[in-house]
Structure 1
Amino acid sequence: MLLYGFRITPKEIIRLKYNCQFHRQSLNRFSLFSSTFQHNLEQLFPTQVFLNYSTDSKKHVNVGTIGHVDHGKTTLTAAITKVLQKKGLAKYTSYDEIDRAPEEKARGITINAAHIGYSTTKRSYAHTDCPGHADYIKNMISGVSQMDGAILVVAATDGQMPQTREHLLLAKQVGITKIIVYVNKADLVDDEVLQLVELEIRELLEDFGFDGSNLPVIFGSALEALEEKDTEYGVPSVLKLLDILDSYIPDPERDFNSPFMLPIDNVFTVPGRGTVIVGTIHRGTIRKNAESELLGFDTKLKTTISDIQVFKKSIPQAKAGENIGALVRGIKVKDVSKGMILCAAGSQKISNRFKASIYFLSKGEGGRSKPVTNKYCQQLFSKTWNVACRIDMDANVDMILPGEHGTVYVTLLRKMVMVPGQQFTIRENNITVGTGIIAETLTDINITTSLGKLEI
């Protein structure tokens, strides 16, 4: 039988379902891929395929929902799929299917970024539902780094909140320029409150460098849309959002010709087949049987891509911008980590040191109140990885004040794939304190102690 595009037996499905002869971690990873690629473990026959990027003439765009916890991001994502299912353009994905992990269900919040596929009459979309809770911001960074545009969800009952600001900061930092605002729970407040919320959000977006005066703002109720209510704030608000998605977010420019590179977002094992790597192709074109390398966290592994899946369909190749599952030969799941890079053989190298231009946020922007000095050690986030780092000043600079730019030399605790122009974020005590761009990679140096920690 073919499940998720990979051939497995009914016996293996039963073993997965009842967790026989498999670790719970493997089952969770399999379930993640199941949800990501629009399948259910108990669904024995494939459903209609709505996305086939490499053969579909429609443009493919990566979007997602960002915003504060409990403002309705996941409800809106579920509502979009339900509305589009009526048009034959998506498979309905329920709230519970999106927030699939046991801890997510228990806490009622999104923890891992979830990927959902759907189409409009004009485009095909891969939609990332990002976690809003501050405890899971690193998963949000990984999710937003894959987007071409974002839907900012703001509850009319709350207005802007701490993660509203932080998500906008991170979206700006990774290069997102187009934001659509969906003011949720509009049915619970009066028109005067809605006007105040819109004014406040537009001002906030201007503060972060977005076109707050002109970008689209939609008032709606994701819950009413999910309940298929044809009220002002119900289904019509989601249809309006989809129309604006098609028109407001431009077709992304993709690099299909460079050697392929895919930042790994997840990895798991398919019984009887092998290890599957999940992520969005950053550049290039991946083909079956391509000689490849897995790089990152001081690791270099050679492999071959045996199969490629795009939303439950096996395809011979996939291009930049597509979210795929790649079956890799001769690789064990324990040898691969989120944040590593799958790339064309010989096209990339790993390093632990680079020169960068950096900006440290002022206290008013949510950053530090004290200056940054030499040998400043914190966690660095870039693409889908995060690693401890040490930041050193230029030779003639003693410190960088909050609210100022500077040139720094960054050394990572582990060797990673880095390229000039790559953006990164520095976080301290669960807040974003700095954003930067890699200028050039430098010769590796060892700054670890005998215990494997950063030397300060």
Structure 2
Amino acid sequence: ELLELVEMELRELLSFYKFPGDEIPIIRGSALSALQGTNEEIGRKAIPKLMDAVDEYIPDPVRQLDKPFLMPIEDVFSIQGRGTVATGRVEQGMVKVGDDVEILGLMQGNLKSTVTGVEMFKKILDHGQAGDNVGLLLRGLRREDIQRGQVIAKPGTVKTYKRFEAEIYVLTKDEGGRHTAFFSNYRPQFYMRTADITGKVELPENVKMVMP
């Protein structure tokens, strides 16, 4: 009876926050019972019920497999005897062992390399695709040649730029944004994919300052 009351409260709470509380599947289970091998109905038997509900209710993510390979670099490290590994989440496309790639951004000129290994969660694969968190073993590069914030891409598919024009909305103090105005030559931090760099704002000639 207590579990039924808890489930009713959960459904009411979900509905209150505009989720489909009456439709969402709720599986009753106990991780402790599953580990200890007690009360099988809410222990071991609840695990496949939960996985079935996840498979049926949550749609598969849409992966952009038809676009050229692109992966922002999250981290870089060296493996003794093997070479340099760049890790990250594949944003689009697919990369296979033997593919040629370019490393772009945060430096003058682009670097070229070949993928000699693909690994995900300590498993060696022959390819990685959009949505996968992988480590790419790159031929002929040292640890210090590449860094977080750069991107690895299929050669010739990505261009780098130092300037761009944008229309922006500046959050107010109440929205968690700025308390004061800013002017031309203001130097904020820009966060793009895994990059974190300082830039400079140049306002149009007819704009003297920007208020939140």
Query: Higher RCO, 1 or 2 (CA under 8 Å, sep at least 6)?
Result: 2
What is the TM-score normalised by the length of structure 1? Answer: 0.37
Instruction: Classify the secondary structure of the residue corresponding to 1:356.
Output: coil
CA distance in 1, matches of 2:202, 2:122: 46
CA distance in 2, matches of 1:377, 1:202: 44
CA deviation vs aligned residue, 1:376-404 (integer Å, no higher than 9, x gap): 43322222222223334444443242xxx
Of 20, 27, 40, which residue of structure 2 is paired with 1:214? Answer: 20
Structure having the higher helix fraction is 1
CA distance in 1, matches of 2:30, 2:193: 30
Write the letter of the residue equivalent to 1:374: F
Q: Which residue of 2 aligns with 1:309?
A: 119
Of 254, 261, 267, which residue of structure 1 is paired with 2:70? Answer: 261
Write the letter of the residue equivalent to 2:159: K
Structure having the higher strand fraction is 1
Q: Does 1:275 align with 2:81?
A: no
Instruction: Classify the secondary structure of the residue corresponding to 2:169.
Output: strand
Q: 1:252: how far off? A: 2.4
CA distance in 1, matches of 2:114, 2:125: 16
Instruction: Classify the secondary structure of the residue corresponding to 1:355.
Output: coil
Write the letter of the residue equivalent to 2:195: W
Q: Does 1:294 align with 2:103?
A: yes
**Structure 1: segments with no counterpart, 5+ residues:** 1-186, 207-211, 402-456
Please list, as runs of the form range in 1=range in 2, the aligned pairs for 1:57-456 lying within 5 A after superposition: 195=9, 199=13, 212-214=18-20, 216=24, 224=32, 227=35, 230=39, 242-299=51-108, 300-365=110-175, 367-368=176-177, 370-375=179-184, 376-397=186-207, 398-401=209-212
Write the letter of the residue equivalent to 1:274: G
Instruction: Classify the secondary structure of the residue corresponding to 1:247.
Output: helix
Aligned length: 201
CA distance in 2, matches of 1:242, 1:378: 45
CA distance in 2, matches of 1:218, 1:368: 38
Compared with structure 1, are the counterparts of its residues 361 and 198 closer, same or farther at alpha carbon in structure 2 (3 Å cutoff)? farther
| Percent identity between the two aligned chains | 31
- Please tell me whether Structure 1 or Structure 2 has the larger radius of gyration of its CA atoms: 2
CA distance in 1, matches of 2:84, 2:120: 16
- 8 Å contact 2:172–2:179 — kept in the other structure? no
CA deviation vs aligned residue, 1:317-355 (integer Å, no higher than 9, x gap): 322222222110111112221221111122212222222
RMSD: 3.6
CA distance in 1, matches of 2:130, 2:170: 32
Instruction: Classify the secondary structure of the residue corresponding to 1:352.
Output: coil
Q: 1:249: how far off? A: 3.1
- 8 Å contact 1:263–1:384 — kept in the other structure? yes
CA distance in 2, matches of 1:220, 1:395: 63
- 8 Å contact 1:373–1:393 — kept in the other structure? no
Instruction: Classify the secondary structure of the residue corresponding to 1:350.
Output: coil
Q: 1:272: how far off? A: 0.6
Write the letter of the residue equivalent to 1:312: K
CA distance in 2, matches of 1:392, 1:222: 57
Instruction: Classify the secondary structure of the residue corresponding to 2:56.
Output: helix
Write the letter of the residue equivalent to 1:330: G
CA distance in 2, matches of 1:391, 1:202: 44
CA deviation vs aligned residue, 1:96-147 (integer Å, no higher than 9, x gap): xxxxxxxxxxxxxxxxxxxxxxxxxxxxxxxxxxxxxxxxxxxxxxxxxxxx
